Amino acid sequence: MDLTKSFIRIARVVELTSLSKSTIYRLIKKGRFPKPITLRGMENVRLFVKDEVEDWIKEQIATCRVA
């Protein structure tokens, strides 16, 4: 098990991506952004896996730079 993984909240995802919350959730609905997780016993808290968000950002950069 990899214990170096960390969780971030939507506010941090917004900061990292420069996207609005509504855009992020629209991309999630379309299957184009990593889905958040809900921890047992904390159903009102949605967390994102930081590595997944960072990988998504890297993928966007790589895709945009292909010419």
* Structure-block tokens of residue 9: 């909240």
Q: Is residue 2 part of a domain?
A: no
Q: What is the pLDDT of residue 1?
A: 54
Q: Is residue 44 part of a domain?
A: yes
Chain segment 12-59, per-residue pLDDT in tens:
999 999 999 999 999 999 999 999 999 899 889 999 999 999 999 999
Half-sphere exposure at residue 19, Cβ-oriented, CA atoms within 13 angstroms: 16
Q: Is residue 58 part of a domain?
A: yes
Q: Is residue 19 part of a domain?
A: yes
Q: Is residue 46 part of a domain?
A: yes
Q: Is residue 1 part of a domain?
A: no
- The number of distinct structural domains making up the chain is 1
* Structure-block tokens of residue 63: 């895709």
Q: Is residue 16 part of a domain?
A: yes
* Domain containing residue 13: 7-64
